[in-house]
Structure 1
């Protein structure tokens, strides 16, 4: 198995990565939102945008 970040041989200590560095790169990508599952359902996006707008609007 090769490291999904750099394609080097994996280290059992950091599996599926080869090193702590590559594991940290992957974690950073998750935290930035670089990984996402696409949705074909436009309702999901519309509902999420409506909820964000509702939460960010000041109360009347």
Structure 2
């Protein structure tokens, strides 16, 4: 199967949900545009997105190691 017959993978823009072709020509992938890319960057910079972390146990908290 040649590259021209290979189906193009599509993804949804994480910001607006628009369908985006996953190709080298898609300059902003996985985003649909520079605007959506900047909105996402701004959300990370303003700490709107956070990576969850396990909280350490409180002193005296039962750890269930019995």
- Whether TM-score is above 0.5 comes out as yes
Q: Which has the larger radius of gyration?
A: 2
Runs of 4+ in 1 over 4 A off after TM superposition: none
* 5+ residue gaps, structure 2: 1-10, 58-66
- Normalised to the residue count of structure 2, the TM-score between the two structures is 0.56
The reply to whether residue 32 of structure 1 matches residue 42 of structure 2 is no
* 5+ residue gaps, structure 1: 44-60
More strand per residue: 2
What is the root-mean-square deviation of aligned Cα atoms in Å? Answer: 1.6
Question: Which runs of structure 2 are paired with 1:8-47 in the superposition (5 Å)?
Answer: 8-10=18-20, 12-42=26-56
- Normalised to the residue count of structure 1, the TM-score between the two structures is 0.61
TM superposition shift of 1:41: 1.6
